[in-house]
Structure 1
Amino acid sequence: MGIYGAINSAVSGLAAQATALENISGNVANSQTTGFKRLDTTFSDLVSGGGATQAAQVSGTTFATSRATNTVQGDITSVDVDTYMAINGEGYFVVTQASDVVDGSTTFADETYYTRAGDFERDKEGYLINASGYYLQGFPLDPDTGNAIGDNPTVVRIENQPLSASATTTVEYQANLPRIPDTTDYDGTTDASALLDAGVGTSDIAVADEQDFLDTSVSGGSITIYNENGTAMNVEVRYAKTANYNSTGPVFDEWTMYIGSGGDATNAWYDVGDVTFDTTGELNGMTAGSIGTVNGTSDGFTIASLNIGGTTAANVEFSFANGSLTQYSDPDGTTSSVSLDQDGYPAGELTGVAVDESGRVIASYSNSQQRAVYEIPLATFEAEQNLRRVDGAGFAATTSSGEADLTGGGQILAKKLELSNADIADEFSKLIVTQQAYSANSRIVTSADEMLDSALNMVR
């Protein structure tokens, strides 16, 4: 081979170092690209022929190949965008690209791609798209069970459709009634003066008797509930004591629960039912009133049709479960420890979209409700270093990488982004070595040229 072989080897070195320089250049250019995976360079030698043993051989040429760093994770940084996310560990987001716009709606390509760039934001059509134009895919969730639907991910879309109302079915009620209520009519000495005015009757409170009722009853709290179409109804509760425990009278203290009618022309307050307490202050009996029935477990009242101010709600249960209604002595003579909680809500408009730490897309609504609408899968591969790189920090599966497995992967981190794994300082270090190697190879060419000139001059 001789001098010509040396020139050939040096030229191959120049080409290999040029490839390394190109990789370094691309890495530096993408040092701030979200989810970018740098390409390192591997050099391989080609042994020159000419001998059966190493002693008879000479160093051959070289060539450069790119080496993937997909398994090298970039730094993860916090961001303030609810739909941004990063992957801690293995895996890729499953994405696709738009193919066309038909009648104002985006259609999508059949190809599936994969990326670590989690800078997804919701566009005007409700899709989650990142800065490179990739649309996120996920499993839609069943609104009733919360389980994923189907085995193939679809493009994530959160539309502006309002969340429908849900009627109140249960009011969890907690209160402690005083042993002696401090009503307006209570004279401070005779317990009987704290009882309900007998003139108002033992059922619903007529409008004409409302003031006498208010003077001989205590507040039991209030809460807003919702009927089937989401109309709000203000429920106001009052209690009136109707019997005191003593040695000659009733065995138990007795109270009647009332709910305000909200402006009914005939009745100001509805009789829900009676409750009795034993000497320890525990609830031990219930009796149905004009609008309430004792529920099946005898720990609350159910109102089949509650009409307040002309608005009706059906089958509302006031639950005293787990001993939440008591009558313990209270020096203030007022209802204490009052807590009302209900399970209904009005219709709501979409106010925001976020991703949680379990990898689910959460839609938030103006009625303070949240719904998990998609589950985000992570794709893993048997040989991810053999994925084919595509534009926008994306990858495509190949026969060498294997098919995507959507059952594993690392952890999704909400409001985080994975940065490029290309470090400028490291790239500059490689740049110095590459530049020196390129100069050295060019020097070989120059020296070989001078040697050829010397050989040619020998015959002159």
Structure 2
Amino acid sequence: MGIYGALSSAVTGLRAQAHALENISGNIANSQTTGYKRIETDFLDLIPDAPIKRQVPGAVLAQSRGTNDIQGDIKTVSNETFIALNSNGFFVVEPKVGQSDGNSVFAGTNFYTRRGDFEIDKDGLLVNGAGYYLKGLPIDTTTGNISGSVPEVIRLSNAFLPAQKTNRINYQANLPQLPKTTAYVATTHNSELINAAKYVGYAGLSTPAKLTGTVPAPAVTDADLAEGATRFADQDTLNVTVNGIEVTFEFTNDGTVAAGRQAIDISPPKTIADVRASMQTALQAAGGPAAESAQVVLDGGALSINLGNDYHASFSITGASANVTTNFGFADGNKSSAPSIPDFDTIAASDDVLFKSNSVAGGAITVYAANGAPVNVQMRWAKVDSAAAGGTDTWNLFYMSDSTASGSSPMWTSTKQPYIFGPAGSLTNDVSTSELTNLTVNGVSIGKVELKHDTNGVSQFADVNGTVNVSTLNQSGYGAGEFVSVAINDSGRVVATYSNGERIDMAQVVTAQFNAINQLKRLDGGVFATSSESGEAILDLSGQGILGGALEASNTDISDEFTKLIVTQQAYAAGTRIVTAADKMLQEALNMIR
């Protein structure tokens, strides 16, 4: 069997090298084919059964081995519907089997490919250069969530995108602890706050802290304490404490008072008017910022003290001498009334300039009505109270509701949601979400809109510029739009772009993984089908590994194939020499019997 065995082995070797040559030629031919996976040749030796000392190498068998797990080079392209995979997955595709009533008909069979040169055909379907159609899952355009679980051929529509009403405004900002409005004066107490008493409709609703004594008998008049009058005695006292700052008045005939006290001259011919004026001057000078505009007046025959233009602080009375109690009606422990600050609902058009000088810009955003009508919402923040004034740091947010208003008609509207901040600059009340119940701007009704700040979305930290720093401002609505283009992003989302600037997710590209990736059955057009050896596809809906605007090249290495070609050629030539030698040896054997 020696010569015949050698001849047989040589023939199997020739057949094996011919098979390798076929694979090499196919790899070289497809070196420029998108997504092509080269085929390697494995050689398997076939050993005949024989005793150990009589064993021979035997024949050889050639078999193909896939390289589906070896990725080709990925290159960037300008076409936004071209995609590549940076993983061992495959795109799920399906061929078209015909047309019915002008519609494409598909067999419902999944195939798998790495060829990602997908383009839109006349029917709005994504098809690659080999004629296979991309499959995925549709997306609910309202929620942005995937709907369905069975992949289907992705269909795109070039219909108009209907308008969507704004139902949410996402707004996050930092408000300055000290708003530097145009009306702010560093030396004027509370000038950073909006003063309701100056606005149309609110003037009579704002009242400062006030305390009016009881009417003495006889009642006090400004003419009292004229020369010879004896309402007060030398060294009578009265303490007024404003926001923790105590002012002690001492009535004197000779101008001499104890250290730290405010002298009130009652020497003849001083009148009650003179006494009030002295007390008012002393209180404004020594009572701290809250008393800078304090007033001491007569009210129905009784002395009255109020804090003037301050609508936040309060005060109390202590240390009142008997004459003070008798003639002014003040007694130890008397406390002022609480200041009254009304909540703003609207700002009249006539107060527009004043309002802008008392507030800071908070940004502007375009929102949309149900019919797609756009309106511009301008926002401004006004600080209505502060800890420095004895209250709490409180802000109101306003939006321009009617830019054409005039006179006493409302131009600005409050959201009616107070924003109250603690010393650390964080909200002390939960305003992660506020609601605009009937947002209407310039006659266009938007309806209910959620003003969403999220947790810690609105803060109050010191800002040297004294302005509002808006970090997030967007909304959920849009007007109608015309289809412009489509692209596939790096998350595998098929995104349609419209003339209104909206980008809507239409579908999610599905990819498939296999346990035995190299055991897939190869078909025409760079597609693969499952086999019993490969196992079933494991679908992935996450879009992981997808690269938009890219293509995977063939994984064929020309230089490597040329090397294998030379080796194969030499091995084949050597095999032919074995056949020639065996033939000559057989001829010599036959010649022995002639």
TM class, shorter-length:
0.7 to 0.9
Provide the rounded CA distance (Å) in 1 between the counterparts of 2:58 and 2:381: 100
TM-score by length of 2: 0.61
Point out the more displaced range, 107-116 or 250-259.
Answer: 250-259
Cα offset for 1:320? Answer: 7.1
What corresponds to 1:378 in structure 2?
511
What corresponds to 1:43 in structure 2?
43
What corresponds to 2:316 in structure 1?
none
**Maintained 8 Å contact 2:167/2:477:** no
Provide the rounded CA distance (Å) in 1 between the counterparts of 2:509 and 2:352: 60
What corresponds to 1:220 in structure 2?
361
Cα offset for 1:141? Answer: 3.5
What corresponds to 1:441 in structure 2?
575
Q: May I ask how many residue pairs the two structures share in their alignment?
A: 443
Q: Secondary structure at the match of 1:341?
A: strand
Provide the rounded CA distance (Å) in 1 between the counterparts of 2:7 and 2:81: 56
Residue 95, structure 1, aligned to residue 93, structure 2: yes
**Maintained 8 Å contact 1:180/1:191:** no
What corresponds to 1:361 in structure 2?
494
The aligned runs of 1:14-25 (5 Å cut-off) are: 14-25=14-25
Residue 262, structure 1, aligned to residue 403, structure 2: yes
Backbone CA RMSD of aligned residues: 4.6
What corresponds to 1:293 in structure 2?
none
Label 1:167 to 1:394 Cα distance change in 2 as closer, same or farther (>3 A). same
Label 1:438 to 1:318 Cα distance change in 2 as closer, same or farther (>3 A). closer
Cα offset for 1:14? Answer: 2.8
The code of the aligned residue for 2:446 comes to: A
Cα offset for 1:259? Answer: 2.2
Question: Structure 2: where are the runs of 5+ without partners?
Answer: 203-344
Deviations 1:415-456 (A, max 9, x none): 443332221122111111211122222233434454555566
The code of the aligned residue for 1:23 comes to: N
What corresponds to 2:132 in structure 1?
134
Label 1:40 to 1:264 Cα distance change in 2 as closer, same or farther (>3 A). same
The code of the aligned residue for 1:425 comes to: S
Give me the identity figure in percent.
40
Cα offset for 1:18? Answer: 1.7
Provide the rounded CA distance (Å) in 2 between the counterparts of 1:109 and 1:331: 68
Deviations 1:100-159 (A, max 9, x none): 233443222332211122333344433332222222222333446655433321112332
Label 1:229 to 1:417 Cα distance change in 2 as closer, same or farther (>3 A). same
Cα offset for 1:3? Answer: 5.6
The code of the aligned residue for 2:556 comes to: A
Cα offset for 1:314? Answer: 0.7
Cα offset for 1:161? Answer: 3.6
Residue 32, structure 1, aligned to residue 36, structure 2: no
**Maintained 8 Å contact 2:508/2:541:** no
Residue 418, structure 1, aligned to residue 416, structure 2: no
Provide the rounded CA distance (Å) in 2 between the counterparts of 1:213 and 1:442: 104
Point out the more displaced range, 303-312 or 74-83.
Answer: 74-83
Residue 337, structure 1, aligned to residue 469, structure 2: yes
Deviations 1:182-241 (A, max 9, x none): 249x9996978985684733475555x366656865453433222222211112345678
Cα offset for 1:269? Answer: 0.7
Provide the rounded CA distance (Å) in 1 between the counterparts of 2:197 and 2:425: 25
The aligned runs of 1:387-406 (5 Å cut-off) are: 387-406=520-539
Provide the rounded CA distance (Å) in 1 between the counterparts of 2:505 and 2:366: 26
Provide the rounded CA distance (Å) in 1 between the counterparts of 2:54 and 2:394: 113
Provide the rounded CA distance (Å) in 1 between the counterparts of 2:43 and 2:387: 97
The code of the aligned residue for 2:365 comes to: I
Cα offset for 1:15? Answer: 2.7
The code of the aligned residue for 1:229 comes to: N
Label 1:339 to 1:176 Cα distance change in 2 as closer, same or farther (>3 A). farther
Point out the more displaced range, 52-61 or 117-126.
Answer: 52-61
The aligned runs of 1:127-206 (5 Å cut-off) are: 127-143=125-141, 146-171=144-169, 172=171, 174=173, 175-176=175-176, 181-183=181-183, 195=195, 198=198, 200-202=200-202
Label 1:315 to 1:443 Cα distance change in 2 as closer, same or farther (>3 A). same
The code of the aligned residue for 1:392 comes to: G
Provide the rounded CA distance (Å) in 2 between the counterparts of 1:396 and 1:234: 55
Question: Structure 1: where are the runs of 5+ without partners?
Answer: 286-295
Q: Secondary structure at the match of 1:406?
A: strand
Q: Secondary structure at the match of 1:385?
A: helix
Label 1:434 to 1:210 Cα distance change in 2 as closer, same or farther (>3 A). same
Cα offset for 1:398? Answer: 2.1
Provide the rounded CA distance (Å) in 2 between the counterparts of 1:398 and 1:54: 39
What corresponds to 1:289 in structure 2?
none
